[in-house]
Structure 1
Amino acid sequence: MTQQLVNTTSATHSTPRRAANKGARRPFRRIGVNAVFVGPGVILLGVMSLYPIFILVRMSLSSVDISNIVGDWPFVGLQNFADLFASTTFQSVVVQTLFFVAFVLVATMFAGLIVALALRPSRGFPLVTQTALILVWTLPPVIVGQLWKFLLSSQGALNQALLALGLVDRPIPFLAQPSTALAAVAAVTVWVGVPFAALVIKSAMLDVSVEILDAAKVDGANKVQVLTRIIIPMIRPTLLILAVLTIVAAFKAFDLIYTMTKGGPGTSSSTIPYLGYITAFPGYQFGHAAAISVVAMIIVVGLAIAYIAAVRREEK
Structure 2
Amino acid sequence: MNARTPLVAPVAGLPRPARPSLCVVVPVHNEIDVLPLFLERLGAVLTMLPVVPEILFVDDGSRDGSLAWIERAAVTDSRIGLLQLSRNFGKEAAMTAGLDHAEAEVVVVMDADLQDPPEQLPRMLDAWFQGNDVIVMKRRSRNGDSPGKRIAAAAYYRLLARVGEIPIPVDVGDFRLMSRRAVLALRTLPERNRYMKGLFAWIGMPQVQLEFERPARAAGNTRWPLMKLIGLAADGLTSFSVLPLRFAGVAGMLAACFALVMALVYAGKTVLFGESVDGFPTLIVSIFFIGGLQLCGLGILGEYVGRIYTEVKQRPLYLRQSYRPARQQSDRLERQSV
Greater share of helix residues, 1 or 2?
Answer: 1
TM-score, normalization by structure 2 = 0.22
TM-score, normalization by structure 1 = 0.23
Greater share of strand residues, 1 or 2?
Answer: 2
Larger radius of gyration: 1
